[in-house]
Structure 1
Amino acid sequence: MRNLDMELLRTFVAISEFSSFAAAADQVHRTQSAVTQQMQRLESQLGFSIFQKTGRSKQLTAQGSKLLEYAIRILALNDEALGMLDMDDVKGSLRIGAPNDIAETILPSLLARFAKIYPHLRMEIHVGRSPFLMQALRRGEIDLTLSTRKSDVHPGFILRTSPTVWLCATDYVHNPANPIKLVVADEPSLFRELALQSLNAAGIAYHISYVAPSLVGIKAALRAGLGITARSIEMISPEFRVLGESEGFPRLPDVNFFLYLRDEQVGTIAKIVFDTLSKSSHDHGRALSSSVPVPG
């Protein structure tokens, strides 16, 4: 059974990521000729070509593209395994913020992952609305937060993108002849903005029938049949149903869930956790876009 050389795979992924042998050479701290020799060795081990000439540049072959997907996964697993062994002794506390509507969906899987990688880490959870969590992050009251708010102030990345839908109670009767009765959060609220902008752009009549300061209040209003709201799919449950374009509702834009770090000077534990998730998210993104032209 042949074994893939991890060092060669790391150089191979760097070439794909930076779209250049020369840039990859800088990344892996080798000369360009050494990188070329590494790829020749890798092709020799594999028994097939992973690059092909296209004009003055090189591109991945079909087999090279397949190898890239596996190489990213192999390296990510290798780095995760070594990271977990290194992090067994990480101790301390981490303060994490999460909006109400994802505290029961995205957050549990994150917490489970944290607990697995950092078994001695104590986690303190702050649940609230995105604008207020961002304020708490700025004040230094939390170390990390999930948020739907775009910010250039804090280091962050997109952890997840979710569709936004129109929701109502399962037994709610919508009459398209009447203005839409909206259930919304008080301002500031991203989902309120998305709902109003979409309805205004489509020229659909509506009126706000209920305003709530929290997700609990919004759910209560929906259950009571007081109207319709716009939320991410994380809020879908058997007690609510989705209203779509066939019922006259405009399509809503997707919403991004960001993970933000307070700042680069935050405690070591928060920075380690943030960097771990950031790298994992980055590797996943690379795996989804593996057919990248590679200039020579």
Structure 2
Amino acid sequence: MKTLDLELLRSLVAIDEQDSFAGAAVQLGKTQSAVTQQMQRLEDQIGHALFEKQGRSKRLTPHGQKLLEYARHLLAINDDALRSLQQGSLEGVLRIGAPHDVADNLLPTLLAQVARVSPLLQLDIHVGRSPFLMESLKRGEIDMSISNRNDPGLDGVVLRTSPTVWLCSANYVHDRSKPVPLILVEGPSVYHRLAREALDAAGIAWSPNYTASSLIGIKAALRAGLGVTARGIETAGPELRVLGENDGLPRLPDLDYYLFIRRNVINPVTRKVFDMLKANLGLIRSAADPVSPAGRAGSMPGD
């Protein structure tokens, strides 16, 4: 049985990330011809073509796509092993925060990665609203936080881009002839702002029917059929349904979820864990990168 060359796999991943052989060459510090030769060697190893021409560029074949998935896993295991052996197991306490709406889907992936690489590290988990978590991060009360609000004063990477949707009870009957009965959260909220701006821009009347201090209260009001709210798709569940343009409601912009740490963090454990998560999860888009696609929310107060 042949053994795959990890350096060749790393070049394959770089080509996919940079969307070109030339970009991969720059990232890897190689010439474009060297990267091309590497891919030829990799094709010889697996006995299949990895790329096919599409106009003036190349795209991955089905075999190339399949190998790319394996490459990411193999490189993650390799990098984890080297990092663990070279740095040793991290010890101490890492305080990490997450908003309620992604605490049960985004946060577990991060926790599992940290526990796998640094089993001796104690994790102190804080779940709350995004603006308050960000203030805690800046005050040094937590070391790292997931948030749906961008902050140029912090170091961050994009974890995921998530659709924002209109939610209501599964049994709720939407009446277009009446003002939209909004269920809102108290205080600063990106969803509150997105809902109001979208409705106002579309010339749709609305009324603040219910206000809650937390996501639990929002969900209770939704299940009771008290109105409609704008939330991330993660909030949707079996007792709720999504309203859309067919129901007369405007499209809402997508939201980025970020992982942040303080820029001048003192604790070396925090920086090592942050860098490890970026590498293992393939997080390449920085929070500082410009965001211009239509339909995505910009920097604003988060929920």
Q: Does the alignment reach a TM-score above 0.5? A: yes
Once structures 1 and 2 are overlaid, which stretch shifts more, 125-134 or 244-253?
A: 244-253
Structure 1 residue 142: Cα displacement: 1.1
* TM-score with structure 1 setting the length: 0.79
Structure 1 residue 26: Cα displacement: 7.7
In 1: Cα distance, 2:248 partner to 2:62 partner: 47
CA separation of 1:84 and 1:172: change in aligned 2, threshold 3 A: farther
Matched letter for residue 5 of structure 2: D
Q: Deviations for 1:71-100, whole angstroms, at most 9, x for unmatched residues?
A: 344323322344455676211001111112
**Corresponding position of 1:229:** 229
Matched, 1:171 2:171: yes
Matched letter for residue 181 of structure 2: K
Q: 1:167 is paired with a residue of what secondary structure? A: strand
Structure 1 residue 113: Cα displacement: 3.1
In 1: Cα distance, 2:23 partner to 2:241 partner: 54
Matched, 1:269 2:269: yes
Is the 1:13–1:68 Cα contact (8 Å) retained in structure 2? Answer: yes
Structure 1 residue 240: Cα displacement: 2.4
Matched letter for residue 107 of structure 1: L
Structure 1 residue 211: Cα displacement: 2.1
Matched letter for residue 24 of structure 1: A
Q: 2:208 is paired with a residue of what secondary structure? A: strand
**Corresponding position of 1:242:** 242
CA separation of 1:127 and 1:44: change in aligned 2, threshold 3 A: closer
CA separation of 1:182 and 1:45: change in aligned 2, threshold 3 A: closer
Matched, 1:27 2:28: yes
**Corresponding position of 1:294:** none
Matched letter for residue 202 of structure 2: A
In 1: Cα distance, 2:99 partner to 2:16 partner: 36
**Taking CA–CA contacts closer than 8 Å with sequence separation of 6 or more, which of the two structures ends up with the larger relative contact order?**
1
**Corresponding position of 1:157:** 157
In 1: Cα distance, 2:118 partner to 2:47 partner: 41
Is the 1:181–1:226 Cα contact (8 Å) retained in structure 2? Answer: yes
In 1: Cα distance, 2:57 partner to 2:224 partner: 62
Q: Deviations for 1:157-182, whole angstroms, at most 9, x for unmatched residues?
A: 11122222212223333222111110
In 1: Cα distance, 2:23 partner to 2:100 partner: 47
CA separation of 1:206 and 1:40: change in aligned 2, threshold 3 A: closer
**Corresponding position of 1:111:** 111
Is the 2:11–2:24 Cα contact (8 Å) retained in structure 1? Answer: no
Q: 1:63-102 maps to which residues of 2 (within 5 A)? A: 65-66=64-65, 67-68=67-68, 70-84=70-84, 89-102=89-102
Q: Deviations for 1:134-188, whole angstroms, at most 9, x for unmatched residues?
A: 1111111111000000121111111122222212223333222111110111231
Q: 1:284-295 maps to which residues of 2 (within 5 A)? A: none
**Corresponding position of 1:143:** 143
Is the 2:134–2:147 Cα contact (8 Å) retained in structure 1? Answer: yes
In 2: Cα distance, 1:282 partner to 1:23 partner: 15
Structure 1 residue 121: Cα displacement: 1.2
Matched letter for residue 27 of structure 1: L
Once structures 1 and 2 are overlaid, which stretch shifts more, 109-118 or 43-52?
A: 43-52
Structure 1 residue 63: Cα displacement: 7.6
Q: CA RMSD in A?
A: 3.3
**Corresponding position of 1:260:** 260
**Corresponding position of 1:192:** 192
* TM-score with structure 2 setting the length: 0.78
Matched letter for residue 145 of structure 2: T
Q: Deviations for 1:39-97, whole angstroms, at most 9, x for unmatched residues?
A: 56545545567678999x98567488445554344323322344455676211001111
Structure 1 residue 189: Cα displacement: 0.5
Is the 2:110–2:277 Cα contact (8 Å) retained in structure 1? Answer: no
Structure 1: unaligned runs, 5 residues or longer: 286-296
Q: Deviations for 1:211-237, whole angstroms, at most 9, x for unmatched residues?
A: 222223222322333221111122122
Matched letter for residue 281 of structure 1: L
In 2: Cα distance, 1:243 partner to 1:15 partner: 39
Question: Could you say which structure has the larger radius of gyration?
Answer: 1
In 1: Cα distance, 2:246 partner to 2:109 partner: 34
Is the 2:21–2:32 Cα contact (8 Å) retained in structure 1? Answer: no
Q: Deviations for 1:113-134, whole angstroms, at most 9, x for unmatched residues?
A: 3223221111112222111211
